[in-house]
Structure 1
Amino acid sequence: MSDKQLLMSVLQHQKGFARAPWVPFAGVHAGSLCGYDANEILHDADKLVEALMSVNTYYHPDGQPVIFDLQLEAEALGCELYWDEGGKVPPTVRTHPFENEKKIPCRCMIPKEEDGRFPIVLKAMRKMKELVSEHTALYGLICGPLTLASHLRGQMLFMDMYDDADYVHKLIAFCKEVCASVAQMYLQNGMDIIGYVDPLLSQISSEHIEEFLLDAYAELFQHLKTCHVPSCLFVCGDATANLEVLCRMKPDCLSVDENVCMKDALAVCRKYDVVLGGNIQLTITMLHGSSQDNMKAVIDIIEQCEGTDDLIISPGCDMPFDVPVENGIACYQAVTDYENVKTALQYYDPEQTFDDVEIELLHYDDLQRPIVEVFTLDSRTCAACTYTMNMVKEAYHRQSDAFDYIEYMYVDKASIARCRKMNVEHLPCIYVNGNCIWSSRIPTVDEFLSTIKKIGGK
């Protein structure tokens, strides 16, 4: 079974697979992998495809979104956007066309393929379908009806829910039509899965969801079911109180962020035959954590859910731009090699210092030739670690008089303590004379030997 087939089977509510699917939601983060900022990849189809292929190469996803931009539809409907000069975030909506007067847009305004930035997105979708369709499922992500309505109406929408329910119903109905139309565009351009991203669903009551959005979403998801297309609903924030009504919309999958307890959410999802996706912490873990933190986050989610049935492992939402590539790779390793990673992390605790384990560092200044210290998860079981060690061994075979080497595997307390003492952040990595030279990157033998020669010894 291919990686794509695994994800599609889980979304079809099949069970009993050896692992959970892995879906990294890399929106603008994709650009960081090849030197492009958010503004570049969201305005240039070729750069967007290059960035998406970097995601595919580094993170080996079972599924991935082509774009994660909740302003795309709003822009085509007349909202002006603000583009951050730093280039590390998607644009934000700056103006709301119906902020000062209650209007329902003409159906003639529903975006078409030539409107706004849709030509860029659709071109990227077609190219990605051509490049990865055999092994990776592609998500077409669409701004959900509530968030889209708020883009058009602004903050007044939430007052309207109390003061003018009829207007809200009409505006949501229009936004539902936009969602359905964009979904059709995406399906015609090669998308395998349709996801509606509606962050604001956690910000209103269950009663308001039931009144204004339950039927609209039920129709959207039912239409996709009749087309035999898997569907997902993405909600950010603490949606705990709304889980029941969200599941009653009958998406194939509900994705939540770190504010929601996965165990509790899965119990609700299973009542309605809905798969649960989530919820690796975006900032504490993915952005600021170590590779071990990210591996442990995945292990903790799987253990919390007591297995991988009805589960998709993913970040809680769109990955921050500056997430270290090593952290995404670490999540992939934990998903695909759960038992070995779990064993390797059995002594890992961010709160522990391992002060009781005596570690003596080498006296690097006294060495006659460089010492290479290779820190691995376990080169016997971890593929990346295996390739790293094989490279070092091949280099040693070529020039055994140029350096000495030793491997520390992250499966015993002494190695963990050494990692802490030497500030090792990512595995695998290669230190030379006590300094980290390569982290989660395997150099060529020639590059390795050239660096060793430059460092030299006494």
Structure 2
Amino acid sequence: MDIVDRVLSGEKLLVAPLVAYPSLKLINGKANECLREPELHMKLMKASFEEFGLDIVFPLMDLTVEAESVGVKVTMKENSAPAVVEHLKLESNADLEGLEVPNPKTSGRLPLMIRTAELMQKLRRNTFVGFYVSGPFTLAGQLVGFGRLMRMVRKKPDLLDEIMSFSTDVILSYARELAPITDLLVLAEPMSSSISNEDFRRFSKSHISRIIEKVGPTWALHICGRANHLLLDMVETGAHILSFDDNIDLRVAAEKVPEDVILFGNYSPMKLATRPQGVVETEVGDMLKRMSDFRNLIVSTGCDVPYFAPLENIHAFMKAARSF
């Protein structure tokens, strides 16, 4: 039974907070090392699953790996996600013509991430395995920089269309390697929260739909930030699961989406990291009470939980969710 069928059957409430970074403390590990060493990354995932009993295990979130394989420069960090430090200069179609879609088996760190996913298959006997890929608009932003991306939306939309097509091809190539060895792919598209519905439909939505249609089988679309205005457009992408930040009311969203579209979330990662353990347990319980009429839910956080979150708070989250 796949994730979607499991959730909609009502057999079990799946619980999967995004806690890979705080789980580094379980192995005294560093993110920059795990993201370069698949065996160490797998050790982290195994420890996280065993510690918290997660129903879906996700690796360290890294939304630079595709961009780095194209040629941007990235800095690696010990306790947080990598970040782009030097973007590409794509000012014309001629600049874009000089780029090639990277081979995911040989380019940059893509082979390391694929190897991590292969190793994580060992966990599939006991849990589901999820994996991240960058969304097309977000990858475009990683390539040219967020500020330039926003200017292109207004001033160079035709060039941005071409960049979007290239970004989509990069994602398709990578995702096709991951899909057969994972249970769920999460298309992380945070930069789309900064654009209007009209711009989302032109620059992101159709490309997301193409990725979901071409790759399959099970996709979650994650848009953090203020994405309430995009909710119905997110449904229309064809994503099976929708993930969004805690600023969207989960019950209001559930009342708007079809019953067979699963919601993923959405307790605040910062609250999980900073609130007292008892408060976390109470607030997660309150969130789930408001969702008691709906079965199309995977209990998670609104986004990635930061490294400094106390492990005890994650246990409190799990305890509250398991009580339902």
The answer to whether structure 1 residue 68 and structure 2 residue 56 are counterparts is no
Q: Which residue of 2 aligns with 1:211?
A: 202
Superposition deviation, residue 245 in structure 1: 1.1
Q: Which residue of 2 aligns with 1:318?
A: 304
- State the one-letter code of the partner of 2:134: C
Q: Which residue of 2 aligns with 1:126?
A: 118
Q: TM-score, normalised by structure 1?
A: 0.67
For 1:307 and 1:15, how far apart are their aligned partners in 2?
A: 14
- State the one-letter code of the partner of 2:100: C
**Aligned with residue 9 of structure 1, among 5, 9, 34:** 5
Per-residue CA deviation, residues 282-331 of structure 1 (Å, 9 max, x unaligned), is 11x21112222222232122222233411111111111112111111222
Secondary structure in 1 aligned to 2:36? coil
Segment drifting more, 90-99 vs 105-114: 105-114
Q: Which residue of 2 aligns with 1:78?
A: 71
- State the one-letter code of the partner of 1:310: N
For 1:107 and 1:274, how far apart are their aligned partners in 2?
A: 37
Q: Which runs of 5+ in 1 are unaligned?
A: 339-458
The answer to whether structure 1 residue 56 and structure 2 residue 72 are counterparts is no
Per-residue CA deviation, residues 15-67 of structure 1 (Å, 9 max, x unaligned), is 433x4211121233332221112212112222211111111011111111123
Q: Which residue of 2 aligns with 1:186?
A: 178
1:105·1:174 contact (CA, 8 Å) conserved in 2?
no
Per-residue CA deviation, residues 352-392 of structure 1 (Å, 9 max, x unaligned), is xxxxxxxxxxxxxxxxxxxxxxxxxxxxxxxxxxxxxxxxx
Structure 1: which 4+ aligned runs deviate by more than 4 Å?
Answer: 99-102
Aligned-CA RMSD value: 1.9
For 1:104 and 1:242, how far apart are their aligned partners in 2?
A: 29
2:101·2:166 contact (CA, 8 Å) conserved in 1?
no
Residues paired across the two proteins, number: 322
2:27·2:44 contact (CA, 8 Å) conserved in 1?
yes
Secondary structure in 2 aligned to 1:68? coil
Superposition deviation, residue 108 in structure 1: 3.3
Determine what percentage of the aligned residue pairs are the same residue: 22
Q: Which residue of 1 aligns with 2:162?
A: 170
Q: TM-score, normalised by structure 2?
A: 0.93
Superposition deviation, residue 6 in structure 1: 7.4
Q: Which runs of 5+ in 2 are unaligned?
A: none
For 2:212 and 2:44, how far apart are their aligned partners in 1?
A: 30
Superposition deviation, residue 100 in structure 1: 5.2
Q: 1:264 to 1:106 in 2, by over 3 A?
A: farther
Q: 1:307 to 1:15 in 2, by over 3 A?
A: farther
**Aligned with residue 200 of structure 1, among 181, 186, 191:** 191
Q: Which residue of 1 aligns with 2:290?
A: 304
- State the one-letter code of the partner of 1:112: P
2:104·2:111 contact (CA, 8 Å) conserved in 1?
no
Q: Which has the larger radius of gyration?
A: 1
Q: 1:148 to 1:42 in 2, by over 3 A?
A: same
Superposition deviation, residue 83 in structure 1: 2.8
